[in-house]
């Protein structure tokens, strides 16, 4: 009846506004968690495919390197005993492996943990929006 006198719906009570806000926040939190889960699943799937391809490339490269190393040992065997050529190639490869391991360890230490960046940013935006809305409502009354 007051709608007819005022030309619009009655303002909601504080309890009703709190209930609506709680429902909306609950929905937002569920949606943000679903977004984070979807983003992490997508990243994990992409990373898994990439790791598999790197593994296959590594295996093929291993066979290629073994062929080249055999050729180097056979070439060096013309100027020194075959066992000396094989030993020399093995020592050089061990040094290269050590340097690569040190570089790899440094890279892993610098890596950051995977974070669902879009979901985190959106959550921060929502928190800022809610905080400002609560502060504005508090200043009005």
- How many CA atoms lie within 13 Å of 92's alpha carbon, on the beta-carbon side? 9
Integer Rg of the chain from CA:
32
The alpha-helical segments, DSSP class H, found in 77-115 are 82-110
User: pLDDT category, 109, cuts 50, 70, 90?
Assistant: confident
All structural domains of the chain with their residue ranges: 2-76+111-140
Q: What is the pLDDT at residue 121?
A: 84
pLDDT, tens digit (0-9, with 9 covering 90-100), for 6-63? 555 677 788 888 888 888 888 988 988 888 888 888 888 888 888 888 899 999 999 9
pLDDT, tens digit (0-9, with 9 covering 90-100), for 77-91? 999 999 999 999 999
Choice between 129 and 1, residue whose per-residue pLDDT is larger: 129
Reply yes or no on whether the pLDDT at 64 is more than 90: yes
User: pLDDT category, 139, cuts 50, 70, 90?
Assistant: low
User: pLDDT category, 133, cuts 50, 70, 90?
Assistant: confident
Question: How open is the CA angle 24-31-137, to the nearest 5 degrees?
Answer: 30
Q: What is the pLDDT at residue 1?
A: 46
d(CA 5, CA 45): 60
Burial class (CB in 10 A: 0-12, 13-18, 19+), 140: exposed
Measured on CA atoms in the order 19, 25, 30, 31, is the torsion positive or negative? positive
Model pTM score: 0.42
């Amino acid at each position: 009846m007051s709608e007819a006198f005022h030309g619009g719906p009655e303002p909601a009570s504080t309890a009703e506004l709190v209930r609506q806000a709680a429902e909306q926040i609950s929905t937002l939190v569920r949606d943000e968690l679903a977004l984070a889960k979807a983003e992490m699943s997508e990243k994990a799937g992409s990373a898994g495919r990439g790791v598999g391809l790197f593994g296959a490339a590594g295996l093929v490269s291993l066979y290629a390197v073994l062929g080249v190393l055999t050729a180097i040992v056979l070439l060096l065997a013309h100027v020194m005993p075959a066992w000396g050529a094989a030993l020399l190639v093995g020592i050089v490869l061990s040094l290269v492996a050590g340097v690569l391991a040190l570089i790899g360890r440094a890279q892993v230490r610098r890596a950051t943990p995977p974070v669902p960046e879009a979901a985190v940013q959106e959550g921060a935006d929502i928190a800022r929006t809610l905080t400002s809305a609560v502060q504005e409502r508090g200043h009005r009354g």
